[in-house]
């Protein structure tokens, strides 16, 4: 009987005591990384949006195979299934008169590698890959060096 009491009853009483006990509330306010310390029933003030860079200067790449960034504002550009405002300047037929960088030939290839005379549907929505830049300091440091910029040691020198 004592064994039954020690093995079954005592742990059950301990679990019941834990279940009845009230949880402790921390003294510090809850901090959510997206909401900050604003209570759930209040709308926090959103942070200011950093202005978009509008320098029309081609930026260097931050990693291999990076799509070029958009060096100008694209606010209110229509870019949907009915129209692509980017092509007003960047279409290969208009790039010379507008002075814009023409759409790459790779954007005219289908998934089988066949080049056609029109933009590939999978490359039609430019902002899937190309994005404008905010005029702010980077959030994360970057030490990328393009292959062309890596200097090789002379052949007669040992590494």
Structural contact between residues 91 and 108, judged by C-beta atoms closer than 8 angstroms: no
- Asked whether residue 90 is marked as a ligand-binding residue, the answer is yes
- Asked whether residue 89 is marked as a ligand-binding residue, the answer is yes
- Asked whether residue 118 is marked as a ligand-binding residue, the answer is no
- Asked whether residue 147 is marked as a ligand-binding residue, the answer is no
- Asked whether residue 125 is marked as a ligand-binding residue, the answer is no
- Asked whether residue 31 is marked as a ligand-binding residue, the answer is no
- Asked whether residue 86 is marked as a ligand-binding residue, the answer is yes
Annotated binding site for heme c: 72, 86, 89-90, 107, 126, 129-130
Which residues fall in the annotated binding site? 72, 86, 89-90, 107, 126, 129-130
């Amino acid at each position: 009987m004592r064994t039954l009491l020690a093995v079954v009853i005592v742990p059950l009483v301990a679990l019941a005591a834990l279940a009845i006990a009230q949880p402790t509330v921390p003294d510090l306010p809850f901090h959510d990384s997206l909401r900050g310390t604003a209570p759930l029933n209040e709308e926090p003030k959103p942070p200011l949006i950093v202005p978009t860079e509008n320098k029309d200067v081609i930026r260097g790449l931050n990693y291999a195979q990076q799509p070029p960034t958009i060096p100008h504002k694209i606010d209110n550009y229509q870019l949907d299934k009915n129209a692509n405002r980017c092509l007003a300047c960047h279409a290969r037929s208009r790039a010379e008169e507008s002075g814009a960088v023409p759409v790459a030939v790779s954007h005219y290839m289908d998934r089988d590698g066949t080049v056609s005379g029109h933009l590939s549907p999978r490359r039609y929505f430019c902002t899937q890959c190309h994005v404008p830049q905010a005029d702010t300091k980077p959030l994360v440091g970057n030490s990328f060096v393009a292959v062309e910029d890596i200097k090789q040691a002379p052949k007669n020198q040992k590494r």
